[in-house]
Amino acid sequence: MLDDRILFIDGEAMVIDKPAGLPVDTPKRGGPSIESRLDELRCGFRRKPVIMHRLDQDTTGCLLLARNPKARTAFQQAFEARSVEKHYLAVIGSEVEAQEGVIDLAIAKRSSAEAGWRMVGDAAGQAAVTRWRRIAGRDGRTLVEFRPLTGRTHQIRVHAREAFASGIVGDRVYGIPGGAMLLHASRLVVPRGAKPAIDVTAPLPEHFGEWRNAA
C-alpha cells in the first residue's frame, strides 16, 4: 500500500518513497500508477493529493505531493524558481576517478520509427546542468550522487552516459541493461517561506545490495 511508503506528511504536503516499476502517470496502455492509486493517499482529506513532479518508472525515492490548492501553487512556484533541491544516488558502470564536477550539456528529444524516442545531448536543445560527486567505488563501478539544477526529462540518465561513457547500471535505454535500474531519488528539500523547509531522505532500496552500506 502506498500509505505505508509515506516519509513525510502534514496539512500541506506529503512525500512518499516511490517503488520501482510503478509509473507516476497512468500509461496510455492503462495499468497501475501513482496517479491511479491516489485514493490510497487521502489520509483523511476529502480531496486527493496532487503529484508535483515526476520520477521515471524504474526510479525509486522521494516524490512530493500537495494536499491543498494553496500548497500546490506554492510548490509549483518553488519548482519554477529552481529552489527545490533534488538529490539522487546512482551506480555508474565504470570507475569514476574524479571526486566531483558539473555536467553542462543541453539535451533534446529524438525519435525514430525503429527505436522510438529518447533524449540526447544536443547543443541546440534545452539547457541542462547537473552537479555530481563521487561517493564510493568497487569492482569497476561507482556510486555517484547527482544534483540536477534543471529538470529535463531523463536528464540524469543522459548526463551520466555522456559524462562517464557507460551510464547507469540497469538503465536499458541510456546505460547498462540487465537487472533493476540503480537510480534513486535519495533526498528532497522544499522551501516553504517562513515555515521550516520539507527535508526528507529516502533510504536506498534493497536492490542496491552492498551499495546501501556506502551511501
**Does the structure show a pLDDT above 80 at 114?**
no
At 202, give phi and psi (nearest 5°): -110, 125
Averaged pLDDT for residues 58-67: 98
Active-site option among 4, 25, 39, 56: 56
Q: What is the mean pLDDT of residues 68-90?
A: 97
Alpha-carbon gap, residue 201 to 185, rounded angstroms: 9
Give the alpha-carbon dihedral of 64, 69, 74, 79, to 10 degrees.
40
pLDDT band for position 116 (cuts 50, 70, 90): confident
Q: How confident is the model at residue 28 (pLDDT cuts 50, 70, 90)?
A: confident
Domains and CATH numbers, the chain: 2-213 (3.30.2350.10)
Mean pLDDT of the chain: 95
pLDDT of residue 131: 98
Instruction: Give the model's confidence band at 134: pLDDT under 50 very low, under 70 low, under 90 confident, else very high.
Output: very high
End-to-end CA distance of the chain: 26
Residues 17/204, Cβ–Cβ less than 8 Å: no
Threshold 0.75, pTM exceeds? yes
For the stretch 29-62, pLDDT in tens is: 889 999 999 999 999 999 999 999 999 999 999 9
Q: How many CB atoms lie within 10 A of CB 43?
A: 11
Percent of the chain past pLDDT 70, that is, above it, reads 99
Taking only the tens place, the pLDDT of each residue in 157-169 is 999 999 998 999 9
Judge whether residue 113 has pLDDT over 80.
no
Task: Give me the pLDDT at residue 84, please.
Answer: 97
For the cut 90, the answer to whether the pLDDT of residue 207 exceeds it is yes
- Tell me, yes or no, if 139 is annotated catalytic: no
Over its C-alpha atoms, the chain yields an Rg (Å, rounded) of 17
